[in-house]
Amino acid sequence: MSSTFHHRRGARRFLAALVTVSLGAATAAAGAQPAAAAAAAPWLTVSDGFASFAVPAEDIQSTMGNVSSVVVEGNFGPSFNVAELGLGRSGNSTAWTSMIGPLPAGLYYYRLRGDGTKIVKDSTNPASVTSDPTWSTFLVPGDSARYLADVAPGQGGKIATITYPGGTAQEQRSATVWTPPGYDADRRRPYPILYLVPGEGGGHADWAELGRAGQILDNLSVQRRIEPMVVVMSDEDDVSRSRLPRAIDRRYNVTDNPRQQAIAGASAGGVRAVRTALTRPGAFAYVGSFGAVLADEGLRVNAKAVNAKIKLLRLYTGNLTDPAYNPTYRLLRKLEKAQVRHEFDGVNPDAGHNWKAWQENLADFAPRLFRPVPNHRPSPGHLVPRHEFTPPAPGTTPTPWLTREANGDTFVTAETGTEFAGAQRVTLWGNWAPGGSWVNVPLTRAGDRWRVTVGPLKPWFYYYKFIVDLASKKDTSNPTSITTEPTWSTFLVPGKRSRLLADVPAGKGGAVNRLTYQSTVAGEERSAYVWTPPGYDPARPTPYPVFYLQHGGGQNYTDWLEMGRAKQILDNEFRDGSLVPMVVVMGNGNVSNFPKELLENIVPAARAGYHISDEPAQQALAGLSMGGFQTFDVLKNHPGEFAYIGAFSAGISFSTEADPTGYDPAAINSGTKLLRIYTGNRTDFTYQITLASMAAFDRVGIEYEFAGVTPGPHGWDTWQKNLIDFAPRLFRSARA
């Protein structure tokens, strides 16, 4: 089982034991259609931005052999950088599966990796990448990727592949050529020409297959935003000195006037474009550098010649994760000092060194060619860098190290110790994928350590660990710890969005104490954490209402504090005036009979230790995952004992007729002031069970509230939001 999924194991075991129908039956009860046979189904299905992977185990066996870890490697990490999504296989499952989303609109490329080294293409996806046949692609449509969509049939240009002589008589090379809509080979005025060059190791087809250049140019043409031009996609190191221009001139009606010729490149292709502009300024009049990692080579620049011959020199870079960020900043300073006219598109805050950035660069660059344009400013939302990105030298400071940009985006740099100097492969696992899911980001060597910068991260609570040669390891320089997950570390990105997860000023919050009690169910002494509100008075005339808050499978009473940020949430909501003064008890639910444990052990111990009410109307119970299922079990067996019920990513057990067994609708409806149900999005593996449970409640007339789908997976991002919503609704005369 992959590292991404290992923290779910306890929950999966619990669900298997508790839910008496299969997930497939629950899905059918919720109205879903039966899945096709696994062997006949594609490995990937995409719906509404959610990418679902289901790779038959027999296919993994036949292509990789025996492996213990399978991941999907693709550009769905922060900044559209390559990351790894773990696939899981439980019990007798016939497939390795996972889901991620909702993914932002864009083009995605992916492949499978087994045990870190065995790479396999998705054989069920016909989309391929010529320069590296292990990759497959898929498009998530949306407004932000509108230029990547196909235009209506007959409205776009045409793409062709040509061959031409290489450097020797025997060598044949290829190029991809886009001609505009209505291209006229006999037009009196020859067409201007743009050469596009890919990055290191890329091929001439990359700009079409990964850059979606054909679609971008088609859309710009349909909107009349670009001059009709011929675009040649090449893999030549030096286009102007190769045989390609002559081959293009023979086949197409293009100009040989350098004033009507342009060149742009991504990554190493951008380096070649800039070098050409600065060393041979007469070769092309328009030059674009997309994420060029240009070394400080001490190039001698003739500013007068460059300014006279080049109409446009426009530079682009991604954010702090782009290795071109610092070189671009230095190049800008060099050009300014040399008084070379140039333009800068600003720092793209949402993309790194990848095709997402370069697609946007092309969409901005092409409309500026071969005609006057009034706007020479950076693209909307792009940043102007004030200095280079200089994280501390390796080994000089604890990690993670947070960098905050002017627009509020935060980037985190994590670094291993020297104990992993001999490792072959290190990744950083954390909850920074779209929707708060988990992906592994590869680290690179920094001397005898490994390091990576991840972002942008929006304000929230994050947790992570290192995966060193497939083994989970803690960041020992980070003092935070999780009792039930010893290899995890945590950090908070501050900001308005995460305000309720932040510590309140010292002395302004409630108190947390440990409550010990004897468990007759487990046959041992156990502990619970108890939060009391600021100003808690054990002698006040009216007892405090009490909220019993339960953890999930594989967790413990410590998790709501260490991972759920329950203290911070309760402290902040109390200070905001949105929380009724109450006592919150976080008990240990790892028992065979939770209703008995709660009512005979936890509740009596809490009443003995704290000034809390025993009135049902002043008692609440909620739990996540396993704790949510346990909460429903209490509701079934003791309706009306707790007037407020919350279930986070959980459902009920069913009879063979898919209706609640043993639930008393009349008793529940009369004795419950609030029954509120929560679920994460489709990546939450209890999503269908939750929907089926609500459908069953509807059939038998049990009243409840559905909080709607919480953006997030079966994880703490979701449950923190659930607690933030649920706690202020408790113990009020009217429902919020």
331-365 per-position pLDDT tens digit: 999 999 999 999 999 999 999 999 999 999 999 99
Q: Exposed, middle or buried: residue 685 (CB in 10 Å: 0-12, 13-18, 19+)?
A: buried
Give the CA-trace dihedral at 116, 438, 432, 715, to 10 degrees: -160
The CA distance from 21 to 17, in Å, is 10
Residue 461 carries which side chain, given as an amino acid letter? F
Q: What backbone phi and psi angles, to 5 degrees, belong to 62?
A: -75, -25
- Work out the average pLDDT over 406-415: 92
- Residues 6+ away with beta carbon under 8 Å from 399: 413, 414, 415, 475, 477, 478
Which pTM does this prediction carry?
Answer: 0.91
Q: Identify whether 400 is preceded by a cis peptide bond (ω within 30 of 0).
A: yes
The CA distance from 61 to 114, in Å, is 10
Domain spanning 401-494, CATH architecture: Sandwich (2.60)
Longest CA–CA separation in the chain, Å:
99
pLDDT in tens, 431-469: 999 889 999 999 999 999 999 999 999 999 999 999 999
Per CATH, 401-494 and 501-729 having the same topology is answered: no
Write down the domain spans for the chain: 41-141, 147-368, 401-494, 501-729
The CATH code belonging to domain 501-729 is 3.40.50.1820
- Residues 6+ away with beta carbon under 8 Å from 542: none
CA 15 distance to own-chain centroid: 26
Top CATH class, 41-141: mainly beta
Strand pairing class (261-266; 193-197): parallel
pLDDT in tens, 98-107: 999 999 999 9
The two tokens of residue 307 are 């300014």
Strand pairing class (460-468; 489-493): antiparallel
pLDDT in tens, 158-170: 999 999 998 776 7
Q: What is the DSSP letter of 660?
A: B
| pLDDT beyond 90 at 662 | no
* Per-residue model confidence (pLDDT) at position 656: 59
The confidence band for 15, taking pLDDT boundaries of 50, 70 and 90, is very low
Other C-beta atoms lying within 10 Å of the C-beta of residue 58: 12
* Per-residue model confidence (pLDDT) at position 58: 94
The CA distance from 217 to 213, in Å, is 6
Residue 439 pairs in a beta bridge with 430
How many CA atoms lie less than 13 Å away from 528 in the CB half-sphere? 31
Q: What is the DSSP letter of 254?
A: B
* Per-residue model confidence (pLDDT) at position 311: 97
Radius of gyration of the chain (CA): 30
Is residue 639 within 8 A of residue 631, CB to CB? The reply is no
Q: Which CATH superfamily is domain 147-368 in?
A: Alpha/Beta hydrolase fold, catalytic domain (3.40.50.1820)
